[in-house]
Amino acid sequence: MDEVRIIEIKKSIFEDNDKDADALRAELRKKGVFLLNLMSSPGSGKTTTLIKTINALKNEINIAVMEADIDSDVDAVKIKDATGVQSIQLHTGGMCHLDAEMTRQGLNGLDLSNTDLVILENVGNLVCPAEFDTGASKNCMILSVPEGHDKPLKYPLMFSICDLVLINKMDVAPYFDFDLMKCKEYIKMRNPNAVVIPICAKTGDGIDKFATWLKNNITQQKEGK
Amino acid sequence: MDEVRIIEIKKSIFEDNDKDADALRAELRKKGVFLLNLMSSPGSGKTTTLIKTINALKNEINIAVMEADIDSDVDAVKIKDATGVQSIQLHTGGMCHLDAEMTRQGLNGLDLSNTDLVILENVGNLVCPAEFDTGASKNCMILSVPEGHDKPLKYPLMFSICDLVLINKMDVAPYFDFDLMKCKEYIKMRNPNAVVIPICAKTGDGIDKFATWLKNNITQQKEGK
């Protein structure tokens, strides 16, 4: 297995994270970099989804990945081995989320020249990451079928801040009491503008739709929309 | 559906949570109350596991439940409807965990006379709840099969503080790449003393073992062990 760079993220000293996040967003837009903040519970399939999506897109656009975790470097190594794209591990030192300054520390560890898309895989947690703007161009979350369709009722903030909700592990839906229609209804209740795409990262189903969403949003940012 | 009491938990003002937690633990022991702190990711099956376990135990011991959530009262209502035991909802006001003082605020909302066991269903989160001692007699977590066997590598603190790890949704193991032996090995790496019980809350498999573990631990506390 390849070795990956590990960056120990320091706790941020900025008091006004929202202002800092806006500044980072503007900087990235100027550089032509689209930053996707990907969030979910532990074990919802973030890394597998990323691998499939990156392999579908990497011949068209240049991608880099930042894997945030409290500990371990398993995800960054997995991404590098399976896709070959630039991948670094961010250690949060026990912190349960990333804010804009922490995200900036991670970005400083990447070569951004000629990079169209940076994906930040945030810490697996439906609570705290929703409270801190990372400076991302768009927020995306994965909800997996085994977690249940009631999660938008229980984690309202997370669903309200996400532009895109991927519903993963659709292949195992027959074995769980998961009601996709109800889930979509609850998501719309929290965020009427959220786009919802059911996928199965394992089989690749729906990954093309996620890839198209990404390409369209990257183009729109480049065109200043 | 029954109505349940909802308590809005205030952020705690105590600086030394560990000391406060020890004090709460001593108070509860004196009152003959065993407090179980139950933690997990969102959607791992905490509420279903509790319903099955309470129904298996409620004729032998007196049980009360505190359901902590950022929002909603679906879990407390579910528990009350399905078991009939004393059940209250704690709203954390966006907070991602409970500490000892917040737990105490919840306990004050319960009638503890003649109660042997209080179960605190903590906020669904593998990160922050691990950092705050609630004053519980024992810590228990649920890891569900769809989350993957690598979770002890990624959330070390949670696994290191738990006396008992329930591995739930064993019925769907054939549909996931879940290695139970490896999972047990990773858990022991984090905490050699952790007891691991595979269960399926949906079918009831293994619930008897969890119930026995609870009864033994309650008796040991009562006997001052």
pLDDT value for B84: 95
pLDDT value for B154: 87
CB of B172 within 8 Å of any CB in chain A?
yes
The predicted-structure confidence for A144-192, as pLDDT tens digits, reads as follows 999 999 999 989 999 999 999 999 999 999 999 899 999 999 999 999 9
- Partnered with residue A91 across adjacent β-strands are A8, A69
H or E element at residue A66: strand A63-69
**Nearest Cα residue to B110 out of B79, B138, B71:** B79
AA letter at A73? D
pLDDT value for B172: 95
**Nearest Cα residue to A120 out of A97, A143, A145:** A97
Q: Cβ(A162)–Cβ(A143) under 8 Å?
A: no
Q: What is the pTM of this model?
A: 0.89
d(CA B105, CA B111): 13
* Chain B residues touching residue A203 (CB < 8 angstroms): none
Greater confidence (A210 vs B11) lies with: A210
Q: Cβ(B211)–Cβ(B197) under 8 Å?
A: no
d(CA A225, CA A72): 38
H or E element at residue B63: strand B63-69
d(CA A132, CA A162): 12
User: How far A203 CA lies from chain B's nearest CA (Å)?
Assistant: 13
pLDDT value for A76: 87
pLDDT at A12 over 70: no
The predicted-structure confidence for A83-137, as pLDDT tens digits, reads as follows 999 999 998 877 788 999 999 999 999 999 999 999 999 998 898 899 999 999 9
Name the burial class of residue B66, with classes exposed (0-12), middle (13-18) and buried (19+) by CB atoms within 10 angstroms of its CB.
Answer: buried
Integer CA distances (angstroms), A86 to A61, A122, A212, in order: 13, 17, 21
- Flag residues of chain B having pLDDT under 50: 1
pLDDT value for B224: 85
Does A128 contact B124 at a Cβ distance shorter than 8 Å? Answer: no
pLDDT value for B12: 61
Confidence bin at A14 (pLDDT 50/70/90): low
Confidence bin at A11 (pLDDT 50/70/90): low
Name the burial class of residue A37, with classes exposed (0-12), middle (13-18) and buried (19+) by CB atoms within 10 angstroms of its CB.
Answer: buried
State whether residue A11 is helix, strand or coil.
coil
CB of B157 within 8 Å of any CB in chain A?
yes
User: How far A121 CA lies from chain B's nearest CA (Å)?
Assistant: 13
pLDDT value for A1: 47
Q: Name B96's Cβ contacts closer than 8 Å, sequence gap at least 6.
A: A96, A125, A127, A128, B70, B123, B125, B127, B128, B129
The predicted-structure confidence for B2-36, as pLDDT tens digits, reads as follows 566 777 766 666 678 999 999 999 999 999 999 99
* Chain A residues touching residue B127 (CB < 8 angstroms): 70, 96, 123-125, 128
Does A146 contact B150 at a Cβ distance shorter than 8 Å? Answer: no
**Nearest Cα residue to B29 out of B126, B180, B135, B125:** B135
